[in-house]
Structure 1
């Protein structure tokens, strides 16, 4: 499919509607002249008085003021006329360098600032240009069953290409007419995209919808200008080569950039291994490994593979090994779309992958580790055993694995090899259908109650992974002997069926909320929204991505009091809460 440039937009005032351009001049290391040149202060954070880049929290923006999209911005030469929905207008000189005391059209005592030079108040200091693929927006519309206006994504350049193919451009050079760009980073989406640009109302949770249906909260890519030139709608877009490593490294290390493993990025299938009947391992080459995407890998983590088949299905797979810039996943074939797709890929194919994700579940301070697995649930055990050896673990390690037959036994040799290196290890293999000539295997299933007793006797951390029936039987046995829940680790991860809809905020009297590190104590009311909304409206910057209680990036420690969850299982949090999807249930002190 040919890639074409459809239209170009510039946003003279950050957070307000843009203007469609017939052409645009792109200058080296700069964006479109005049883009986000002006910002209206929010009062939540100080703005750099010299005109240098300042974080978005310092300005009026649609995450806090969704009605900004209903304002009108008209240009006559360098004079902008900003008109409110009420009809009130104010003129702004786009060329002056002075800070104006206030803009009554938006709100009294809100100063108007201007960025220095030809750089604007972009969302990130290096995000000169944003690119949106209109076919991707069409795919989103089709999946969620609602037509999405591409202008929700506030891009500079709108192109038409194969849906989601823009993530494959990461680290590539593009030519657009006379200009050349480096694609530096995928765009993580915030609450702004939830706003209907015509009504100024947040009528859906776009980040949550992206996570649920596509497995990530990214849409579009950022680019920097490599070669100056003029661009016009209708121009063809071509991939001309690879960007220099230093450019991607700088983009990854930008202070506001999302964590590198989170980026949806191309990975090439470098090897496939048929491990057992209908079980296949796939080795993937990560182009960002040399930039650090795998540097903090923790045994037991998983990746997500996106855009599987025409339905854009995504699935999560445990990483069973990491070797330099490559990682391995092991997949069992079943009737599912994702599984079928994973068994159809060949060496050389490019997949869109994000991760690794997941919390650390191994501690060198534990007295013992018991691994209780069944079927394809063996995959995290391989990585965990290798990690324990690398850490010099000398305590007891017990592996109990269940499979049907030897022909369905995947990665067992890897487990045996890894366990041999651990002095305190023991292995027990159960085959439920036929032992055959498998050395050391026992016929039948293990007794869950005995497994629980062994774990309690060894004071072990217990790692469980396998089919639901297996996991439930082990958990029931552990529960029957009051086993310490904090020593149980289930290798689970989110799936497309995960709940993302937020329950309504109930009526409430004002509740006292203290943000300790930020030295803020004020009353919260239902009109303030979530605890994240409450904090952001007061200038507090909290890492947040999905805003749907999934990614856990906004997790905050509760020092006293409790918070009510609005997503997922109903109940209150007393130790830690996801502020994007919780509200105070009583007077609360958060560590942030």
Structure 2
């Protein structure tokens, strides 16, 4: 059903009738509430059991709730575009509590009240009152696209905030139960292995082994220098690696997808596979990636690198009723190798179609391993594409299709089953594939892609100015540093761009960038390199926006 999106809808009403209050204004003090015997100003009431000294010992903390901005109450947690921003239910806890009970951010904890207990992921907050715990309201639905199973509404492993609050004390005005303040206790979840917890920042790893997978593709196994435990991860996630590259000893940071099984009972390390990046300058001169060249040509067993803990929201389910379509271009096969390795040996794997594109057999990484996995996984179908087969490549043996991969190779019968589509490879290939699937009726919300971008050094300091063209409206303006984000700049020019939260969360203000460079003030780039969030974006060059 169409819903009108009207901004500042109260501004057009007469001042005395803008809101449905006695004065027509937003009332912080209410004479009407006072006349009916209620406090005219909001005030904190007693926490339940506040007067009970015995409860204070068992439940020494005060549990409250606040929206994170992504979800509407208990709705929308099944939507991938929102869920990727808050994968799991979190509870913010004060630093003093965390230190006293040996809890770190990312640990599983149990929050217990007089009527129930629930499991959350801890987020340690400096500055939070030492007796306050902030949990996420609601319960958590299944989200297959991001490999998230439904979390129980009841039971031992539930994560339902609502089940922690009793209904024996109800506010007489709103009818609400005491969601804002309720006595609780917080303890580490005994099922969580703290020896395998995530770590903050970078951690030193040693190169344990190297293996050549294809022409200029190197697999690297890394083990922690301290010999400590390692957390598992989700199929499709990546690690961020920091390398020191000679001759000047420059530190370079890159992200690479993890390979190998996502879950191991006695994990000793992680593995990645890296292709040497190559390209041509405008003058035809060959150029190569600094980090990928170092890994392929210089890295040696015993070398020390630094890793951040596994992360990322490009994740794939090992348990789902929906089929999976996997599109890999070149070294974009790595997250899918992780998925297939994780599925080997599991009962009831999903139906999968892997479309794997390479130039030829020399560039075909993991060929024998994929064949072995195909023999192990009866639900896996693989179609290999060679864009330019080499002289020794044999059709029907080394590859199936000579030419480029396209959405036409996804059977219509598979599309009827509403597959989840995952893509990793060159951006033009993924865009063409996604557009063609959308033309065949696949919802774009069911098409997910992995995007890695090298950090771009741009500046947007005081005194700068750039030309901004809003192509669809035909409006042009000169942006200056004092104008701030592009959303407000557009409004000054008389343009009404879509917007919502204005803090970079809801993405209602997403606009495609036709040309030019953008910097986001909140430091988070959209996954689609061709988009910007107008409420946070500022130009870093002359730009053209599709708005």
Q: Tell me which interval the TM-score lies in, with the shorter structure as reference length.
A: 0.3 to 0.5
TM-score normalized by the length of structure 1 = 0.42
Normalised to the residue count of structure 2, the TM-score between the two structures is: 0.46
